[in-house]
Structure 1
Amino acid sequence: MNNQQFARRQPNFIGEEHIRKYAVLVPIIKTEKRLCILFERRANHLRIGPLEISFPGGKLEKNETIQACAIRETMEELNIHQNQVEIIGPGDVFFSPFSLIIYPYLGVINDYKDTFSEDEVENIIKIPLKFFMNHSPDHFRSELINHPPKDFPYEWIPYGRDYPWSKGSYDLYFYHYQETIIWGITAHIVKSMVSLIQDYQLFKTDLIRN
């Protein structure tokens, strides 16, 4: 190792080993009448997030690309073939304050027959893309407060127990469509991806016909 090698290195994130990395697909499907975003309601027996509404996706496996992970998980959860998935491109990355990073991809699922794996999915939900373009989500902000452990060595820091800890915040978004509520991380990704679809004028011809 030398100075030149160090100058060329790509920075990593400090604490990256504690961050969980996931990839998801934001699937667009074409029905007879309109373009829809396809959501999943997670199976009731799952340990994490049962009955929550989400996108197909999962944790990155070792040496797996982000796009490959999004496609693999979509195939498994929706019981579809790889040639049905048409990737449009990457969305913006979601950084969670809870040691979580999610990499969304936008894609079209062709010839979709409403299939899904009952091991992972309770049911599917189709919501018109135009709904999200025409409706802003309700917005709330949650405060994040530092709670040190009981054995924290306050005597090692200035002001001890009166130390002025910084506070953070976390945006919470809610979309209401008929009886369905899209919220949490899923709503964050929807809001971001719909904005990108509008900025890049994607699906413009199909949307005009709807």
Structure 2
Amino acid sequence: MTGELDALRRRYSGHIPGLLGAERSYAVLAPLLPLPDGPRLLFEVRAAGLRQGGEVCFPGGRMEPGETPEDCALRETEEELSIPRGEVELLGPSDFICSQRGFLLRPVVGVVSPAGFAQMQPSPAEVAEVFTVPLAFFSRTEPVTARYELTPSLPEDFPYEAAGIPRDYAWSHGAVEVPSWQYEGHVIWGMTGRIVRDIIQGL
């Protein structure tokens, strides 16, 4: 028993809580470009050979062990776009997204300097295209919003009787709202759209 308690003491001493059940975490940078006519958001289009190729996204990827969201976002931006991390002023973290697929997405908002933007060289293996959108466009344009339901589906051998609940138990349902904007032939939607919506709510 003492050994078990010691193990729990070690586990919880200095423990930083995360999301229960999350198998992995990702981080992205929402890069802002400060231009004379107002800030613009920088987006990527995923290379065709990647999972979800052709989709619009922010630079980012899977967090490595011991890595903060900020470190991951800067590292991935440097790998994908060759923008040096020293040319990005981090404004802070945006609200994170919990995916029903079992991972956390940790967005970080940052400002890319003109020098950093001038050094940008997208990696062909990861990035098919980059483009920018005025932040004001998102503020003044209502997105098209879709909503999909999250419906629980339990196996037949779930121990209803042992748990003391009926087979028609009212399991909680959920839903996810997905905003999308169209801008000059590109569609900004999904988790990227949700991050954009969170950013403009602060304006």
TM (norm. structure 1) is 0.80
Deviation larger for 30-39 or 63-72: 30-39
Which of 35, 59, 73 is residue 56 of structure 1 equivalent to?
A: 59
Q: CA deviation at 1:115?
A: 2.0
Match of 1:85 in 2: 88
Match of 1:15 in 2: 20
Which of 27, 31, 49 is residue 31 of structure 2 equivalent to?
A: 27
Flag the 1:22–1:145 CA change in 2: closer, same or farther, 3 A: same
Flag the 1:15–1:8 CA change in 2: closer, same or farther, 3 A: closer
Q: CA deviation at 1:165?
A: 2.4
Match of 1:104 in 2: 107
Q: CA deviation at 1:30?
A: 3.4
Which of 74, 98, 113 is residue 71 of structure 1 equivalent to?
A: 74
Pairwise mapping of residues 142-181 of structure 1 onto structure 2 (< 5 A)? Answer: 142-149=148-155, 151-153=157-159, 156=162, 158-160=165-167, 162-181=168-187
SS at match of 2:95: coil
Match of 1:36 in 2: 40
SS at match of 2:30: strand
Q: CA deviation at 1:116?
A: 0.6
Flag the 1:149–1:94 CA change in 2: closer, same or farther, 3 A: same
Q: CA deviation at 1:184?
A: 0.6
Flag the 1:11–1:29 CA change in 2: closer, same or farther, 3 A: closer
5+ residue gaps, structure 2, are none
Match of 1:115 in 2: 121
In structure 1, distance between residues paired with 2:19 and 2:91: 31
Q: Which amino acid aligns with 2:173?
A: K
Q: CA deviation at 1:100?
A: 2.0
In structure 1, distance between residues paired with 2:13 and 2:84: 41
The sequence identity of aligned pairs, in percent, is 35
Q: CA deviation at 1:8?
A: 8.1
**C-alpha root-mean-square deviation of aligned residues, in Å?**
2.6
Flag the 1:83–1:171 CA change in 2: closer, same or farther, 3 A: same
SS at match of 1:92: coil
Which of 134, 137, 140 is residue 134 of structure 1 equivalent to?
A: 140
Post-superposition CA distance 1:118-174 (Å, at most 9, x none): 1111111211111011112222221111122355455545333x3332211111111
Q: Which amino acid aligns with 2:30?
A: V
